[in-house]
């Protein structure tokens, strides 16, 4: 479906079923992979909010979905191994893990904080 503003979305029905919508526009394989993992993160963690939610609630649930996605696509073990092997540049890590550079920055924030 066309989702030009967010490019992807997830929603949970009253039954508990989770639905993911992906924009029909152009995607790189990395963008599609990251967006899908993020939306699965909403579904797997129950991190949903309504359009009227306060900004801090939105940030909390978006961060929860991001953390889930990062842990699925780039495990801490793989992250540490890549760094040990000298893969340290953002673009190089993004290529190695087949994700976007922005996703690598989020992974760096997550793994350097804990």
Q: Where are the domains of the chain?
A: 27-113
DSSP letter, residue 12: E
Token pair belonging to 34 = 């990251």
Q: Are 100 and 30 in contact (CB under 8 A)?
A: yes
Angstrom distance (rounded) from CA 113 to CA 107 = 10
Angstrom distance (rounded) from CA 54 to CA 82 = 38
Full pLDDT tens readout for the chain, 114 residues: 788 778 899 999 999 999 999 998 878 999 999 999 999 999 999 999 888 889 999 999 999 999 999 999 999 999 999 999 999 999 999 999 999 999 999 999 999 986
Q: Give the CA count within 13 Å in the CB-facing half-sphere of 70.
A: 21
Token pair belonging to 14 = 């009253």
């Amino acid at each position: 479906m066309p989702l030009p503003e967010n490019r992807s979305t997830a929603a949970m029905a009253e039954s508990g079923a989770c639905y993911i919508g992906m924009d029909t526009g152009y995607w790189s394989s990395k963008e599609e992979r990251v967006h899908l993992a993020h939306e699965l993160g909403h579904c797997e963690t129950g991190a949903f909010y309504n359009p009227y939610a306060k900004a801090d609630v939105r940030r909390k649930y978006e961060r929860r979905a991001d953390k889930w996605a990062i842990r699925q696509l780039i495990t801490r073990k793989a992250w540490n191994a890549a760094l040990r092997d000298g893969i340290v540049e953002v673009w190089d890590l993004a290529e190695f893990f087949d994700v976007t550079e922005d996703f690598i920055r989020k992974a760096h924030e997550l793994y350097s904080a804990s």
